[in-house]
Structure 1
Amino acid sequence: MRCTLFKLSSLSLALLHALPAVANDLDFTKFNPTQSDFGGVGLMQMPTGRVAPEGEFSLGVTMNDDYRHYHSSLQLMPWLEATIRYTQVPDLYYSGDESFSGDTYYTDKGIDVKLRLWEESYWLPETSIGIRDMGGTGLFDGEFIAASKHMGPFDFTVGIGWGYMGNRANLKGDTRLGNDCGRDTSYKGKGGSFDYSRWFTGCMSVFGGMEYQTPWAPLSLKAEYDGNNYKSDFVVTRSDKEMPQDSPFNVGAVYRLDDWGDIRASFERGNTLTLGFTMKTNFNTLSQSWSDTPTPAYNGKQGESVDDIDWDRVATDLETIAGYGQTKVYADDESITVVGGQSKYRDRDLAHEKAAMILTNTGSKASSFHLIEQSANQTTVQTDIDASAYRKVANQEYVGANVTDTTRRTNPNTARGMLQADTSKPWSVNVNPSLQQSIGGSEDFYLFNIGVTAGASYWLTDNIEIGGGVYVNLYDNYDKFLYDVPPDGTDLKRVRTLVRQYISDNRVRVGNLQLTAFDKFGDDFYVQAYGGYLETMFAGVGAEVLYRPLNSNWAFGMDMNYVAQRDPNSEFGIFTEEVHYDPTTGRYYRVQTGTPTGHFTTYYRPEWSWFDDLLIKASVGQYLAEDKGVTLDVSKQFDSGVIAGAYLAKTNLSAEEFGEGSFNKGFYISIPFDIFTVKPSSNRALVGWTPLSRDGGQMLGRKYHLYDMTNGRYPNSEFTNR
């Protein structure tokens, strides 16, 4: 029996040595998905079933003799990847009209989306479905389903592609109908529309490949079987150039430059060298170490009367330590109320902790503390703190003691007690950098202006403010933006495309000068009325009303305005004639001499686990060019506080009336200042970009938005208007 067992054990050991080892996380260098040539996680030309970690943001460029891809990808949700791409074609010009586009290369704008269907498990591969170039003119449009399985140092992918990724037609399709197997490759209007009718049609191919993580951590290798045969590429069909494919196999390498980026090189089609570079970060894990004023230690003092407390010192500490500025402190022996704006901490729990400790250390007999948060002198939310319960937290009398154990959010009430200290001032000044940019235009690929806005305001009463700002243009290249009447003949009123005259022709300009009145009705209604020079391009009068219940994920608002366009050749003048002559272009154009504009807006924050930290805004109304329609704005807030969003406006203008792009759209990122500074701050920097400067679907730029002002009414909300 022992001999039999020994033989069986020997046989088992031999079999184990003969079989490949089962991979685990400790066997090999960690595998990290990398970007494809087009942006988005993939191999080279082909995608994979993989997605990046939630919050990963990348900027990259891929170049060869045929195309230059400039791409940006963001993992919005664990299951949703979005990519924006601009592609230049060096062999073709933007248009055949030299006076319109000069020597600017042909530029294609595309949007890709990938949805992960399920994650990888022991038996199942990670599988995704996606659409490439869903919002452009269709240079690279295609659809795919891809599955990826990790085995040791290898990550294998197999997929099925349609359109650009399936033109080899090795699975399905009749190439006798054309290189696209009969797929409709035309596009609606002037480009930019979602041509969903052709999705998952035409040629159909199997593609596949693998990525190998070498033992040397920075280096990984790629190989793929390409589903495209490059016979219907834009370069081939629009020029005399050919894109021969000597081999359907592409090979490449990725060298990681640490967590922030990588360099890519590949040999594709058996004859083409392609190089790429990607920078990346993660909006969820992005953080900074602050040099902050520490929370005071608990001193245990109790039983002090109101008259024995240095309230001026308390007000100073509330501002410098807890971030409550412009404060009024009311107190009696039963309660202490602090009324002010929170300008330091984006995390309100941290502000509550510091404020509660400061008030506790006064030794007051008060049984409750009340923090009433203000914005533009309007109360938005009140936080009640049980003083006795907080003393137990301050003294760490139980495990896991936290200020949230003692707080309760309510609608603001009238402050109790006598006014003990007042640090509020009727005036304020500010200086902020400003960046405006447009990508992919006909005159130049990248148009921008950078400057500084200096502002000041004065409160005439608790509810009425007069204020304004002066913009100083430091540098721009908008002198290239001539906006001659384009070949498509678009003839809307020039509400935004006069940007050159306002920026390049005026280095210093009053951007805003207005009188604003605020008020509040009941607990949930906020209103404002305003008049003056409302923004760089428009002056007029208007009003806004917002209904926003406390702690509700819904809100409703309406703004109504009557505005006229400011004359860029006069500091305070307004256009009174509709038709004008542009000596630069030798053309006549129309402007806005007076129009009503405004929108009804619904704000919604889904509270679904798979749609975490989203804000959805839908606005219906009339725009500056007198077109009517809907704007949809969706933004996502990440753990670091970074907000990324996109918007589109579809109006009653036809694609031909709107011009190139078919409808207005854009993207933006709002970045907290304190990610880059050593001090905490509630201020933000907004970076936005639009594919093209056009006149349809344009809203009035307003100084104040009531929804932003009342962010404190929803827990942990930092969403801001673009």
Structure 2
Amino acid sequence: MSRPVLGLLALGVCAGVHGQTLSSQSDWGGVGLMQTPSARMAEPGELAFTATHTSPYSRYNVSMQPFSWLEGTFRYMNVTSLNYGPEGLSGDQHYKDKSIDVKLRLWRESRWLPEVALGIRDLGGTGLFSGEYLVASKRFGPVDVSFGAATGYLGNRGDFGNPLGALDDRFETRPSPSSSVVNAGKFGLGSMFRGRVGMFGGIAWQTPWERLELKLEYDGNDYRHEPRNIRIRQSSPINIGAVLTAHPNVQFSLGWERGNEAMVGITLRTNLDQAISMAKPLDPPAVAPRERDATAEGTAAAGARADGGSAPGFHRDAADKAHAERERNLQALAGTDWEAVADLLHDNAGFNVEQIQLRGSELLVTGAQGRYFYPAKGLGRSARILDHAAGPNVEWFTLVNTTFGMPMAEASIHRGKFADYLEGRIGLDDLTRNVELNPPSRQRRDVLYQAPLDRFDHDLALGFGQTIGGPDAFFLYQVSADYAASYFFSRSLWLSGAASANLLNNYDKFRYDAPSNLPRVRTDLRRYLTTADVTFPNLQLTGVRQLSRDVYGMAYAGMLEYMYGGVGGEVLYRPFGERWALGLEANWVKQRGFRQNASFRDYEVATGHATLYYQLGEDPRIRATVSAGRYLAGDWGATFNLARVFDNGAIMGAYFTMTDVSSEQFGEGSFDKGIYFSVPFELFLPRSTRARSTVLWNPLTRDGGARLGRKYHLYDLTDERDRSFFFENIDRIDE
């Protein structure tokens, strides 16, 4: 389950942000003045939560800056003068409006030209507060001046007619936003850039006291045409405000808006790209380098493999590798306590050893990294341990990384060059030329140690789930005790399960079942969450196998998620070192009973997708995913997912799904969509871990475009084949 947004941001404050250029958020989220945006952008990786109140509106915004030229914001707006619905449905809860904004920078500021951005508010929301704008910003020392023009809500003052009316008369008038839930969630392309144009602008002054910024703006909205006939009086279009930066990650805002209303706000912020892992006092210290003797010095001086410097896996059985040399190497290692070495690799390097082997002058350790998020860190710690254990004839150390017994990649490091690096004789660039990541090879090896299979694994943790923005209450939550366990019949075949016991929730308020024109494949959410206090969300048998060098397969059966059980399989083709991969999954599933036990309901469906994964560029690195197939409600379509992947492993992304279900059949929201970010716990915990938290904002739970929530995905299981991530973090090899 995802952690709450606020919790992650609070932890992000502790993660450390260095070199960050501060910029303040507007009342609506996103960099700007107060009611109006500017052309400015935050630093790439910025994540900000802003809460503001100006009667009758309270706004809760989360803004993300995945790229230097793109800003995205999603928002809940609480309208205190309107009820959510009839009293029998929502009691006295206020109306909640959901919306998404985007802002694109068209060009950067230069000596003579301003920075210019194009933005759209309430894209894919109800359209009640929708608007489009073009804004320019120019800096004059400590003063930043912005000036823009807008259609829609932001330009409701309507200072002049729409120039686009010369191209088409339709641009002269703007359709009134619809309050129909059927239309809510559409992109609203037919209304964009239509209607009269209102001007807006202002200045932001960075005072001599660096913690204080003052703002003065001219609002482009006259508040005479508020949606839902909300009555607001504006005494003046001039707004004034101040932003106090109490901490680089915390800002407070105060203002006087519309000439008659106070504004208060707070912003919590962090930068996922610039976040640096906090110190790890709970990690064991790395093993000290071995004192080098004359033999080791000679090995280091070689600087290349004995077989001519070829990569791991090439020319291993060359004729000049005499049998006598092989026997000599084995004899030199015969007295080593490899079981003790395997235990130390587990305890200090986080590497769960399966086998230790010798291949010529190369010592190979096969297993899985279970602790260190950055592969280079695990390789460096392992190399320190192996340097103490190996004889003088071993020149290379290789970790054969596996996932559930499937070989993924071989990470190799030259023994002597690593010792030179630790002693300061060479730099990181020289070391990097002696570190390799290659596909698994099948050459002959001599087995020195075979580890027994650890068959049982288990974990007990607190779980947290939430539902936001519904008519019963703005925030519904549940705290649970979650127990997960796995039993391994072999390294590639295991039974896994989970049990969850309710500890605390406010689900007594959860009474609303969303209407649906489709099979209820997801909208029975309330009944799944409230029927039983002890549930069994997952119990499945899973088997995986490497089918060829670049092809992996998986089969599974059982209770696959809390709503569905059945059988299925997946095949993934992921060529080593390539930017792309292809996957295919097929499933037959049946809907589970509301108590999440062994019972089933009548609904069943065959569902599956073909998926293309593609990485665009290196800096920035963008992961694009397109999945096409059949969804749980029997609808056919495709899901498009675009994510920015930062060097430290943090991710920002968005997705949407379009199927053959009409917007009328889908209901409120019109189609499935969401925004998410994912953060490695490595960044803000005092102990290394490979775990991460993903926060997904999905405005509504509907039945169209719904996918099976499988526990394992082959693309995620094959992450060790990611060369980019390995070498982007090669500097962690000596931690």
Calculate the TM-score normalised by the size of structure 1. 0.87
Alignment partner for residue 544 of structure 2, among 504, 514, 518?
Answer: 518
| C-alpha separation in 2, matches of 1:200 and 1:347 | 47
Structure 2 residue 556 is matched with structure 1 residue 538:
no
Following superposition, the deviation at residue 144 of structure 1 comes to 1.3
| C-alpha separation in 2, matches of 1:103 and 1:692 | 21
Structure 2 residue 557 is matched with structure 1 residue 567:
no
Deviation per residue, 1:36-88 (Å, 9 max, x gap): 11000111111111111111111111112221111010111111111001111
Alignment partner for residue 47 of structure 1, among 37, 44, 52?
Answer: 37
Q: Helix, strand or coil: the match of 1:138?
A: coil
Q: Helix, strand or coil: the match of 1:701?
A: coil
Q: Helix, strand or coil: the match of 2:575?
A: coil
* Residues 662 and 99 of structure 1, relative CA distance in 2, 3 Å threshold: farther
- 1:90-109 pair list within 5 angstroms: 90-95=80-85, 97-109=86-98
Q: Helix, strand or coil: the match of 2:376?
A: helix
Alignment partner for residue 204 of structure 1, among 190, 197, 200?
Answer: 197
1:167–1:181 CA contact under 8 A, matched in 2:
no
Q: Which residue of 1 aligns with 2:730?
A: none
Following superposition, the deviation at residue 282 of structure 1 comes to 1.1
| C-alpha separation in 2, matches of 1:295 and 1:161 | 62
* Residues 399 and 624 of structure 1, relative CA distance in 2, 3 Å threshold: closer
| C-alpha separation in 2, matches of 1:31 and 1:630 | 39
Following superposition, the deviation at residue 100 of structure 1 comes to 3.4
Structure 2 residue 308 is matched with structure 1 residue 300:
no
* Residues 693 and 479 of structure 1, relative CA distance in 2, 3 Å threshold: farther
1:476–1:504 CA contact under 8 A, matched in 2:
no
| C-alpha separation in 2, matches of 1:32 and 1:519 | 49
Following superposition, the deviation at residue 513 of structure 1 comes to 0.9
The alignment of Structure 1 onto Structure 2 pairs a total of residues equal to 660
Alignment partner for residue 597 of structure 1, among 590, 607, 613?
Answer: 607
Deviation per residue, 1:214-255 (Å, 9 max, x gap): 222222111111111112111xxx24x522222121111112
Deviation per residue, 1:319-344 (Å, 9 max, x gap): 22222114321236633111111122
Following superposition, the deviation at residue 435 of structure 1 comes to 3.0
* Residues 704 and 59 of structure 1, relative CA distance in 2, 3 Å threshold: same
Alignment gaps of 5+ in structure 1: 1-29, 175-179, 577-592
Q: Helix, strand or coil: the match of 1:349?
A: helix
- 1:71-110 pair list within 5 angstroms: 71-95=61-85, 97-110=86-99
Q: Helix, strand or coil: the match of 1:100?
A: helix
Q: Which residue of 2 aligns with 1:419?
A: 448
| C-alpha separation in 2, matches of 1:306 and 1:715 | 31
Query: CA RMSD, aligned part only?
Result: 2.4
Alignment gaps of 5+ in structure 2: 1-19, 164-170, 297-328, 727-735
- 1:465-504 pair list within 5 angstroms: 465-484=494-513, 486=515, 490-504=516-530
State which drifts further: 539-548 or 345-354.
Answer: 345-354
* Residues 173 and 392 of structure 1, relative CA distance in 2, 3 Å threshold: closer
Structure 2 residue 705 is matched with structure 1 residue 697:
yes
- 1:28-67 pair list within 5 angstroms: 32-67=22-57
| C-alpha separation in 2, matches of 1:547 and 1:192 | 36
| C-alpha separation in 2, matches of 1:353 and 1:569 | 48
Q: Which residue of 1 aligns with 2:313?
A: none
- 1:696-715 pair list within 5 angstroms: 696-715=704-723
Alignment partner for residue 376 of structure 1, among 392, 404, 417?
Answer: 404
Following superposition, the deviation at residue 363 of structure 1 comes to 3.8
1:306–1:332 CA contact under 8 A, matched in 2:
no
2:513–2:523 CA contact under 8 A, matched in 1:
no
Q: Which residue of 2 aligns with 1:335?
A: 362
- 1:172-251 pair list within 5 angstroms: 172-173=161-162, 182-187=173-178, 189-234=182-227, 238-239=228-229, 241-251=230-240
Q: Which residue of 1 aligns with 2:382?
A: 355
* Residues 342 and 484 of structure 1, relative CA distance in 2, 3 Å threshold: closer
Deviation per residue, 1:248-304 (Å, 9 max, x gap): 211111122111111112111212222111111111222211223224213226588
* Residues 374 and 403 of structure 1, relative CA distance in 2, 3 Å threshold: farther
* Residues 272 and 296 of structure 1, relative CA distance in 2, 3 Å threshold: same
Following superposition, the deviation at residue 716 of structure 1 comes to 4.3
2:498–2:536 CA contact under 8 A, matched in 1:
yes
Q: Helix, strand or coil: the match of 1:308?
A: coil
1:492–1:696 CA contact under 8 A, matched in 2:
yes
Q: Helix, strand or coil: the match of 1:594?
A: strand
Alignment partner for residue 457 of structure 1, among 486, 497, 503?
Answer: 486
Alignment partner for residue 534 of structure 2, among 481, 504, 508?
Answer: 508
**Which structure has more RCO (C-alpha within 8 Å, separation ≥ 6)?**
2
AA of the residue aligned to 1:397: R
| C-alpha separation in 2, matches of 1:608 and 1:171 | 45
Q: Which residue of 1 aligns with 2:115?
A: 126
AA of the residue aligned to 1:157: S
1:328–1:423 CA contact under 8 A, matched in 2:
no
| C-alpha separation in 2, matches of 1:376 and 1:705 | 12
Q: Which residue of 2 aligns with 1:7?
A: none
1:56–1:280 CA contact under 8 A, matched in 2:
yes
AA of the residue aligned to 2:708: L
1:261–1:278 CA contact under 8 A, matched in 2:
yes
Q: Which residue of 2 aligns with 1:151?
A: 140
| C-alpha separation in 2, matches of 1:628 and 1:102 | 38
